[in-house]
Amino acid sequence: MRARISSMIYAFCTWLTRVVVGSLSRFEIVGRELVPTDGPLILAANHVHLLDPPLVAACISRRVHPMAKRELFEVPLIGWFFHVYGAFPVRRFSADMGALRVARNFLRSNEAVLMFPEGTRGVRAGTATELRPALPGSAVVAQMTRAAVVPIAITGSNVEIPRVFWQWMFGPRPTIRVEFGQPFQIVEPSKGGGTAEAETDRLMRAIAAMLPEEYRGVYGASTAGTIVVRREAHERSPRETRPGDEDVPQA
């Protein structure tokens, strides 16, 4: 019974997102045919707005389980809704092994998990939202499960309410774009690949390559050839290492 209610709520929210976003904006979806329709899957996206999880879910046919900040689950009713929707909590900016185990269990059941490697929304810079240094949690889960990883680039979702309604009525509607990249495998260190940090950098640069230059932030051309990753809780500046550095990955 609970599973049926959960599926119904998820389906309704996904439909509602498509209707609302499609009505209030120019909603562009690119590359969704690249998303595998079955098997374990990690969807890894840049984070622009609270709208991003349902936005990604509205773009594809298979169900998505988003990883969301723990604070949302601690709010009465809202927390219940997130659980029923299929999301699961994570302590941000830390090695939350419990959240990684939940993600692993979903993937072992051939489900799709949505993760935001930055751990929080990007840095607002004018009309763009720049990428922050990412945490290695997504790469760690991918290495544990051998799940395929699909990079996702989101732009334009940082809409302002109620301004977006005025734009809809009187001005040009904002453009919200979600682009899916080619699926790939995170390489395990035992098979000649880099550390989880190196693979995280590879993932983030795949996302950055689909974003306009002003969105790329710390994964822009100025850091090419270095590994940019965040390791410490609430660290605000990128840590750069050279390929081959052996650091213990954290989520």
What are the domain boundaries of the chain? 2-241
Q: Is 189 helix (H, G, I), strand (E, B) or coil?
A: helix
Name the token pair of 169: 């009525």
Characterize 31-41 residue by residue with b for buried, 16 or more Cβ atoms within 10 angstroms of its Cβ, and e for exposed.
beeebeeeebb
Largest CA distance in the chain: 58
pLDDT at 247 (0 to 100):
36
pLDDT at 171 (0 to 100):
67
pLDDT digits (tens, 9 = 90+) for 98-151: 888 999 999 999 999 999 999 888 988 877 899 999 999 899 999 999 999 999
CA distance 140 to 136: 6
pLDDT digits (tens, 9 = 90+) for 8-61: 999 999 999 999 898 888 899 999 999 999 999 999 999 998 889 999 999 999
Identify which of 84, 29, 91, 81 has the alpha carbon closest to the alpha carbon of residue 55: 29
Average pLDDT, the chain: 85
Q: How confident is the model at residue 251 (pLDDT cuts 50, 70, 90)?
A: very low
pLDDT at 202 (0 to 100):
95
CA distance 66 to 43: 9
Q: Which 8-state DSSP code applies to residue 135?
A: P
Torsion of CA 201, 202, 207, 209, to 10 degrees: 110
**Which of 235 and 190 is assigned the larger pLDDT?**
190
Rounded to two decimals, the pTM is 0.85
Name the token pair of 150: 């699909």
Q: How confident is the model at residue 193 (pLDDT cuts 50, 70, 90)?
A: low
Identify which of 52, 60, 55, 67 has the alpha carbon closest to the alpha carbon of residue 17: 55
**Which of 101 and 190 is assigned the larger pLDDT?**
101
The answer to whether 199 touches 142, Cβ cutoff 8 Å, is yes
Q: How confident is the model at residue 243 (pLDDT cuts 50, 70, 90)?
A: very low
- CATH superfamily of the 2-241 domain: Glycerol-3-phosphate (1)-acyltransferase (3.40.1130.10)
Q: How confident is the model at residue 69 (pLDDT cuts 50, 70, 90)?
A: confident
**Which of 231 and 39 is assigned the larger pLDDT?**
39
